[in-house]
């Protein structure tokens, strides 16, 4: 039987008793605003945040996150540090106020113009600016102080997320050594040769070694990390046990690929209104009798969106029989627009879509349909159900949970997943159609292949992937990780 909410809760209670779980991330799972004194959700969560939300719903506790410029200081001071506490949520959310300047230097600056391109070995060079680093340090201290305020009197479990908060573990551990601190790094860890270009690499590594347990999606990311600490800090590394001894303390490193709430996606897909919603979408988008390809990504230069659109262009060139018989839907919000590269990318995507639509489109048919917006899970599931092929062409991606969401939403086992060989998910979903995002002609050919493969072949691939995700669901991930503490 797959892991479920009750089993995870039991494991936590058996292992940690009444020790509270304190989840810490840059952002809360949802964005809120206040209307008539009540917090209302204004933005849906990312796949990663939703998975963590599922864990918190099972275990309970406190989630510490920043407003990241979205709630103002008045909102936070008026409504108290504990922002959201309702019967719907099994945990409380505690918000940290960051000014626009802090959000700029820490989030847009050091985290997303420095660490993000560094770790994703992106074609965009990382920018390491001193003032951004200082801001990152100060905001990490702010997080650490809030954790200590929330947790220092008891031996709570502090579970930190991602690359925004690399210094927090050591800041917390130094102040209160008896606290149990763990972290999951959701993006790749690059090779030492790449990592050493970061001027504050030593500080980042020493910060992360405050963790008792540090998780990555893949074994290779763990090995890169071990190598980096050995070379940079001279820490003692045991490559067999995956442990690091530094300043008299041991940090264990583990590979544990993140997953999704299989049950939730499956039940959403089976809900009776979902079929109607998918039909409604098909009608509204004039897709009757047309096969559909789908891409779902935040607009980011690591996602390979221009490469994917170029592949669609080649697909129509090579297989003209699909003109007016196939449309490609590209969904996803514009993100980090304060960073010039993201704005440029958004313009490039607009221009590519326009070119393809002008080249092949007719009055009645659009080859590519672009929605640059955020979608709630329920809406995404309807889109997943429309899609005969799903194309994930990331140039580099820690995991990519969209692949899991698509497979789980296809409850009849139809459809085909084209998955970049540079995603973490490709190591798990080995039954997907593999693509190299840099080979756009190959992607075009595999779209054709996936559309034309016998249904039995596609069914067998999808069923194998569904079975894997069902077994290795989000509860399994959390249980495996927390059990190592």
Partner 1 sequence: MDQINPDMTVLEVPCQNRQAEHIFRKYDAAAGVCLCCQALFDSVADLSRKYGLELEKLLADLETAAASRSDR
Question: In the complex, which residues of this chain contact partner 1 (CB under 8 A)?
Answer: 130, 134, 137, 167, 170-171, 174, 202-203, 206-207, 210, 232-234, 247
Q: Which is nearer to partner 1, 180 or 327 (CB)?
A: 180
For residues 381 and 378, what is the distance between their CA atoms, to the nearest angstrom? 5
The distance of closest approach from Cβ of residue 135 to partner 1 in the complex, given in angstroms and rounded to an integer, is 10
Q: Which pair of structure tokens corresponds to residue 88?
A: 């719907």
Q: Where are the beta strands (DSSP E) in 165-228?
A: 180-184, 213-216
For residues 263 and 322, what is the distance between their CA atoms, to the nearest angstrom? 35
The distance of closest approach from Cβ of residue 373 to partner 1 in the complex, given in angstroms and rounded to an integer, is 39
Strands ordered across the beta sheet of 180-184? 82-84, 91-96, 61-66, 21-27, 157-161, 180-184, 213-216, 249-255, 243-246, 236-238
The distance of closest approach from Cβ of residue 131 to partner 1 in the complex, given in angstroms and rounded to an integer, is 10
Q: Which is nearer to partner 1, 127 or 355 (CB)?
A: 127
The distance of closest approach from Cβ of residue 481 to partner 1 in the complex, given in angstroms and rounded to an integer, is 25
The distance of closest approach from Cβ of residue 134 to partner 1 in the complex, given in angstroms and rounded to an integer, is 5
User: Crossing angle of helices 440-452/305-318, nearest 10°?
Assistant: 60
The distance of closest approach from Cβ of residue 172 to partner 1 in the complex, given in angstroms and rounded to an integer, is 10
Q: Which is nearer to partner 1, 114 or 188 (CB)?
A: 114
Strands ordered across the beta sheet of 368-371? 368-371, 326-331, 291-296, 389-392, 416-420, 433-435
Neighbours of 283 (CB within 10 A): 10
Q: Which is nearer to partner 1, 120 or 165 (CB)?
A: 165
The DSSP H or E segment spanning 236 is strand 236-238
Here the contacts of 284-288 (C-beta below 8 Å, separation 24 or greater) are 285/327, 285/329, 285/369, 286/364, 286/365, 286/366, 287/327, 287/386
The distance of closest approach from Cβ of residue 210 to partner 1 in the complex, given in angstroms and rounded to an integer, is 8
């Amino acid at each position: 039987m797959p892991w479920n909410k009750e089993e995870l809760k039991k494991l936590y209670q058996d292992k940690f008793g009444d020790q509270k779980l304190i989840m810490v991330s840059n952002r809360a799972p949802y964005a809120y605003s206040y209307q008539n004194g009540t917090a209302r959700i204004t933005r849906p969560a990312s796949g990663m945040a939703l998975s963590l939300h599922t864990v918190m719903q099972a275990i309970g506790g406190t989630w510490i996150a920043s407003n990241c410029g979205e709630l103002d200081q008045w909102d936070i001071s008026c409504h108290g540090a504990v922002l959201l506490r309702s019967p719907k949520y099994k945990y409380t959310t505690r918000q940290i106020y960051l000014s626009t300047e802090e959000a700029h230097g820490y989030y847009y600056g050091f985290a997303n113009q420095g660490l993000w391109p560094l770790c994703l070995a992106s074609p965009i060079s990382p920018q390491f600016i001193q003032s951004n680093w200082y801001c990152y340090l100060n905001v990490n201290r702010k997080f650490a102080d809030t954790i200590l305020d929330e947790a220092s009197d008891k031996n709570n479990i502090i579970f930190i997320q991602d690359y925004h908060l690399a210094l927090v573990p050591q800041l917390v551990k130094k102040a209160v050594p008896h606290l149990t601190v763990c972290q999951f790094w959701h993006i790749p860890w690059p090779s030492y040769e790449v990592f050493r270009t970061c001027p504050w690499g030593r500080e980042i590594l020493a910060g992360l070694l405050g963790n008792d347990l540090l998780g990555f999606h893949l074994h290779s990311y763990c090995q890169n990390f071990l190598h980096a600490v050995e070379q940079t800090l001279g820490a003692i590394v045991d490559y067999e046990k995956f442990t690091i001894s530094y300043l008299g303390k041991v940090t264990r490193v583990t590979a544990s690929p993140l997953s999704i709430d299989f049950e939730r996606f499956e039940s959403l897909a089976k809900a009776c209104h979902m079929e109607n919603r998918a039909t409604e979408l098909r009608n509204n988008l004039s897709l009757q009798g047309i096969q559909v390809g789908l891409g779902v990504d935040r607009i980011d230069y690591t996602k390979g969106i221009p490469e994917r659109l170029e592949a669609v262009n080649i697909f129509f060139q090579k297989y003209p029989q699909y003109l007016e018989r196939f449309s490609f839907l590209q969904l996803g919000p514009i993100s980090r627009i304060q960073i010039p590269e993201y704005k440029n990318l958004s313009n490039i995507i607009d221009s590519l879509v326009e070119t393809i639509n002008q080249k092949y489109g007719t009055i009645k048919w659009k080859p590519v349909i672009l929605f640059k917006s955020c979608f709630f899970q329920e809406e995404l599931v309807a889109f997943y159900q429309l899609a005969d092929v799903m194309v994930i062409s990331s140039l580099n991606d820690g995991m990519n949970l969209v692949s899991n969401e698509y497979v789980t939403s296809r409850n009849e086992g139809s459809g085909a997943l084209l998955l970049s060989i540079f995603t973490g998910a490709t190591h798990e979903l080995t039954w997907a159609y593999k693509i190299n995002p840099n080979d756009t002609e190959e992607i075009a050919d595999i779209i054709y292949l996936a559309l034309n493969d016998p249904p039995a072949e596609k069914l067998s691939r999808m069923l194998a992937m569904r079975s894997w995700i069902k077994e290795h669901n989000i509860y399994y991930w959390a249980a495996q990780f927390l059990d190592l503490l």
